[in-house]
Amino acid sequence: MLRLAVRVRRNDAELVLAELLELTPGGVEQVDLDEVVEYGVYGAPGELPEMPQVRAACGEALVEVLTTEVGDDWADRWREFHTPLVLAGALTVRPPWEAVGSTEVDVVIDPGRAFGTGAHPTTRLCLELMLELEPLGSFLDLGCGSGVLAITAAKLGFAPVVAVDSDRLAIEATAANAGANSVPLDIFRVDLRHEQAPVAETVAANLLAPLLLELARMLVRAPASSRPVRVIASGLLEREADAVAAEFAQVGLAERGRRELGGWAALLLCA
């Protein structure tokens, strides 16, 4: 078994991921390395994408490509990597092979595609801020990935809950995980670069900084009645947080909380 690691510039990571998933529909592994994002693909010799395909998919965002041999126990080690996440003694997010958590809210997420189970700092920070909120009204998970935030919101008591993403695999993963958790979600495919986001009172946007800035500008153009009253903005590097907070302040969403972890930041913005 081989592992093909493709490293790309962070600012272009989402676009590159969409292209790579066309080559590897079974999903990729994502590892964050400061200014670089690494996408890992596993397969037997001859099954992995060829270098011309990789270069075409990544374009100028490509930093490095590495190929390493993986031991026969890779499947077991992969499972060991995905362990339960327990927050504030109130929420457990776990893969399906782990036992049900002892917390009031238990969320099961299958990490089998290109998305994790919630342990990445950007998702974890969102979950921490969500636990501080009164779970009232509608909720939008913008850039839902595996659906962790949307499913957690539904279990906390938000309703209705909508999950959107531009990636079809994210839509499929969210639908499957919602079914496994027996929660009702409205799930749509939306590309923020070309389409307006749905309306909700509380929005969790775990996106890269350029998309968060675009979201804030969309809200400036939107009628006041369609703007959220609370936004959790994550996917930010710590140094990007001030600029994003300032952009959302232009639509009356002031910073009410900030959490940081491992170089990442998440903001709670309220009207």
Q: Is the pLDDT of residue 31 over 80?
A: yes
Mean pLDDT within 103-124: 82
Distance CA 167, CA 148 (A): 15
Q: Is the pLDDT of residue 152 over 90?
A: yes
14/65 same-domain check: yes
Mean pLDDT within 83-100: 94
Q: Please, how many CA atoms are within 13 Å of residue 51, restricted to the half-sphere of its CB?
A: 4
pLDDT band for position 77 (50/70/90)?
Answer: low
What pLDDT is stored for residue 120 in this prediction?
82
104/50 same-domain check: no
What's the CATH code of the domain at 8?
3.30.70.120
Strand arrangement of the beta sheet that strand 91-94 belongs to: 85-87, 91-94, 105-108
54/172 same-domain check: no
What pLDDT is stored for residue 87 in this prediction?
96
State the chain's mean pLDDT as an integer. Answer: 90
143/52 same-domain check: no
CB-CB contact of 109 with 93 (8 Å): yes
What pLDDT is stored for residue 47 in this prediction?
82
pLDDT in tens, 186-198: 999 998 778 888 9
62/88 same-domain check: no
Mean pLDDT within 104-130: 85
Q: Is the pLDDT of residue 161 over 60?
A: yes
98/128 same-domain check: yes
120/53 same-domain check: no
Element (H, E) at 222: none
39/62 same-domain check: yes
Query: What is the percent of the chain where pLDDT is above 70?
Result: 94
What pLDDT is stored for residue 158 in this prediction?
98
Q: Which of 46, 76, 106 is the last residue of a domain?
A: 76
Q: Is the pLDDT of residue 40 over 60?
A: yes
> 203: burial class by Cβ within 10 Å (0-12, 13-18, 19+)?
buried
Number of domains in the chain: 2
39/118 same-domain check: no
Q: Is the pLDDT of residue 25 over 80?
A: no
Looking at residue 144, what DSSP letter applies? -
100/172 same-domain check: yes
What pLDDT is stored for residue 208 in this prediction?
85
Q: Which of 60, 76, 92 is the last residue of a domain?
A: 76
pLDDT in tens, 200-235: 999 999 998 988 999 999 999 889 889 999 999 998
Distance CA 181, CA 101 (A): 13
18/93 same-domain check: no
Range of the domain at 27: 2-76
61/191 same-domain check: no
Distance CA 264, CA 247 (A): 18
What's the CATH code of the domain at 122?
3.40.50.150
Q: Which of 76, 104, 131 is the last residue of a domain?
A: 76
pLDDT band for position 88 (50/70/90)?
Answer: very high
Distance CA 1, CA 201 (A): 47
